[in-house]
Structure 1
Amino acid sequence: MERIAGINPNRFLWCCADRGISVEECASATDIAMANFDKLLAGEPSLTFNQLRKVAEYFGRGVLFFLEQGPVNDATVHSAQFRTLANQKPELSARIKALIERVEHQRTIYLTLRDEVVDGNYPHFAPPQLDGLTPKQAAAAARAWLELEPSNNFESYRRAIEAQGLLVFRSNGYNGKWQIAKESPILGFSLYDPECPAIVVKKQAADAQQVFTLMHELGHLLLHRSSSIDDDEDMHARGGQEQEANAFAGYLLIPDDFLPAIFDQERPDDVALYDDWLTEHRKCWGVSSEVILRRLMDSRRLPRQLYAAYRQWRNEQRAEDKDGGNRAYRHREPKHVFGEVYVRTVLDALNGKRISLSTACSYLDNLKIKDVRLLERHYAGV
């Protein structure tokens, strides 16, 4: 098979450096002989078109990217949002960087389809005016904007946010391109865009743990109108924009008028019993005990040392390891990862003959055709 001449070796090396891998690791990941890459670096005809396409897909680039002879311009390759996150946390893994770019790509797909689908009743982002408000005031305005009911869980919070024109992604539990690894400290990130912001939340053992991350990222988008990437340390920051996002999330999830439902006289002496004490409220509000305790502490109803003791006890508990789930429901994974608005938009475009079935498969995380049909039946309630 004919080998392609003119592949730019410097662009290939730039991709390796950007991903934080060696040429040997790229050869192993793409299952292409190292001898071919040696020829590429020597400026000789080296890869077939199919091999070059495999390399391009691995790095998330187009084939033509490697055939251009000029140097790589970071400002055109990476978006301003990507560069913002990379600057916030220079130690970001190559895997997280690749995930950020995938989210941006999925958002571009969504916006393109949204504009093309005829009679599509899709939400558009029109944020509330929060300038000059305190985090508490901003949270109250945002809660009204989201039209939240008193009782919620992760999915209802997610639907409310998506209904206001944002996309909400949740990483999956499988070791794949949409996973944030368990060992990664990253809990979530947000990508600000005046037309369609996006939030990404790391899948965790309990949905309640994801809820605070979701609202923390929403706080960055609404309060600061900026992109952000956050780890556990940020979720407990006591200053700057991270503290503002934390306060916003706490007030939004548990407004002041929720707190009288908790009776201090029923608080156990043993912090290990706090979860039982707060079970009813945790389930109703869709939050963790820690979020409730933090709000009680901020309201001067819980001593800081008891909050710290609970956190220490909680951190000493070993979370139960769970597998990634049952892939018998593979057809539902795009809904869990990309959200209902995104998936419905793709299916509407397919049904309206705006895209082909094979294109719909690629937009839905490379589902097989039979799984796309199952997904259609799932939404049809069949």
Structure 2
Amino acid sequence: MAKPASIPGLNPEILAWARRRAGHDVATVAKRLRKSPEDVRAWEAGDASPTYVQLEKLAYEIYKRPLALFFFPEPPEEEDPEHRFRTLPAFELARLAPDTRLKIRDACAKQIALHELTGGRNPAERLVFRDLASTPDSDPAGVAEKLRDYLGVSVEEQRSWRSAAAALARWRESIEEHGVFVFKSSFKQQEISGFCLYGEEFPIIYLNNSVAKTRQIFTLFHELAHLLLRLDGITKRDDSYIGHLRGEEREVEVFCNAFAGAFLVPQGVVRELAGRGAPADDEIKTFATQLKVSREVILRRLLDRGVVSRQHYEQKAAEWTDDYFERRRKSGGGNYYNTQGVYLGKRFLALGFQQLYRGVISRAELADVLGVKATSLDGLEQRMLAGTG
């Protein structure tokens, strides 16, 4: 059999760059292509070449990149997670799954799209990330109190919401009203609860829709804290990595955890519960249900006050997380348009369709901005106009 011809203009340097940026090792790529690791190394060294069909699979299915990129003279400038998320230790950054890295790239694309859709100006009248800008040595409880006043949401209103899903929708709406767009997606890497990307005009928060609604609420405010500090950040379900941080990086994560907890479970509530001594599970569940937060957040606030031990906290947190994922495993899927609408958010959808109605962008361009097929636009438009989710 004749040896396949090389592909003129293919840049082997970009083959290697795209693999590393996607978070794949050579063995994984070789297995996906049913080739040997030696073959993939030869392609990246320029000693051999994939077939055009193999290159298409590398581009579209494995690395999630446009085919034309592999013919560029050099890799494009693109900031990698290792430089963006400096409060995550190197060993945790190395564990970021390809799917998580893809979500980060999607978030970067969303930031660019926001600039293009708005002419580079945030449409919100007030910008929380500027008005409440903080530093790691700020008092997290004090900043949390200021945020409550700023958003105009009392503890009584928080208690009145009918469910955690309703609370998440309300908190998301309130934060987006003040200049921070919030996106969602289902992450394969379940231990990642979400992340944020700072920007002078369009900071964004990206939540893992696979975790419990109460966990998403905590992540929303943990990441908002990062943005108030003008930093990118990632929230992991297990935050034991904080013990490996030093200096300002550690101060940042301690601040973000304390801020989110103080905002969602104010000091008065903590005093009320702590006054009863070490609470039973039923008591914790009652308070968590009232405030639409996780039992873990309630217990963490009690841990910070010395009411419960760290061992007890970690044991219960792991137990409650396992219970949630077991229930979720047994649940079914949902409506595509509702899901995409929730992922993208009403404000982002509205911005996109407004530009379409004005003739500024085409249907194909809007589909590209939203990350959907053009055939899905009508369904998304109907959902947006219905105002659901």
With structure 1 as the length reference, what TM-score do the two structures score? 0.77
Alignment match of 2:184 (pick from 165, 170, 174): 170
Partners of 2:180 and 2:204 within 8 A in 1: yes
In the alignment, is the contact (CA less than 8 A) between 1:271 and 1:310 conserved in 2? no
Counterpart residue type for residue 19 of structure 1: A
Alpha-carbon displacement from aligned partner over 1:116-146 (angstroms, at most 9, x marks no partner): 89xx955673432435641111111222223
Equivalent pair of 1:82/1:101 in contact (CA under 8 Å): no
Find 1:144's aligned residue among 145, 149, 152: 149
Alignment match, 1:99: 103
Structure 1 match to 2:205: 199
Q: For residue 78 of structure 1, what is the aligned residue in structure 2?
A: 79
Q: How many residues align?
A: 357
2:174 pairs with one of 160, 170, 180 = 160
Contact 2:273 2:279 in 1 (8 A): no
Aligned partners of 1:273, 1:115: CA distance in 2, in Å?
A: 51
Alignment partner, residue 291 of structure 1: 297
For residue 216 of structure 1, the aligned residue among 219, 222, 230 is 222
- Residue 164 of structure 2: aligned partner: none
User: Structure 2 regions of 5+ residues with no counterpart?
Assistant: 159-166, 244-249
| 8 A Cα contact 1:334 1:365, kept in partner | no
- Equivalent residue number for residue 312 of structure 1: 315
1:8 aligned onto 2:11: yes
State the alpha-carbon separation in 2 of the partners of residues 353 and 325 from structure 1: 42
Do residues 337 (structure 1) and 340 (structure 2) align?
no
Would the alpha carbon gap of residues 216 and 43 (structure 1) be closer, same or farther in structure 2, given more than 3 Å must change?
same
Q: Residues 350 and 356 of structure 1 are in contact (CA less than 8 Å); yes or no, is this contact kept in structure 2?
A: yes
Q: Secondary structure at the match of 2:15?
A: helix
The letter of the residue matching 2:281 is A
What are the residue-to-residue correspondences of 1:236-315 with 2, within 5 Å?
A: 237=242, 240-259=251-270, 262=273, 264-265=275-276, 271-275=280-284, 278-279=285-286, 281-298=287-304, 300=305, 303-305=307-309, 308-309=311-312, 311-315=314-318
Secondary structure of the structure 2 residue equivalent to 1:220: helix
- Uncovered stretches (5+) of structure 1, i.e. residues with no partner: 173-178
1:175 aligns with none
The code of the aligned residue for 1:99 comes to K
Structure 1 Cα separation of the partners of residues 240 and 171 of structure 2 = 19
C-alpha distance in structure 2 between counterparts of 1:350 and 1:30, whole Å:
40
Q: TM-score, normalised by structure 2?
A: 0.76
What residue is the counterpart of 1:176 in the other structure? none
Match of 2:378 in 1: 373
**Distance of 1:283 and 1:69 partners within structure 2:** 56
Report the more deviating stretch, 208-217 or 60-69: 60-69
Give the Cα–Cα distance (whole angstroms) in 2 for the partners of residues 170 and 264 of structure 1.
Answer: 38
- Asked if the contact 1:271–1:309 (Cα under 8 Å) also holds between the matched residues in 2, the reply is no
Secondary structure of 1:201 counterpart: strand
1-structure distance, mates of 2:225, 2:238: 16
Gap change, CA 1:40 and 1:4, over 3 Å in 2: farther
Distance 1:11 1:226, change over 3 A: same
Which one of 344, 353, 358 corresponds to residue 359 of structure 2?
A: 353
- SS where residue 304 of structure 1 aligns? coil
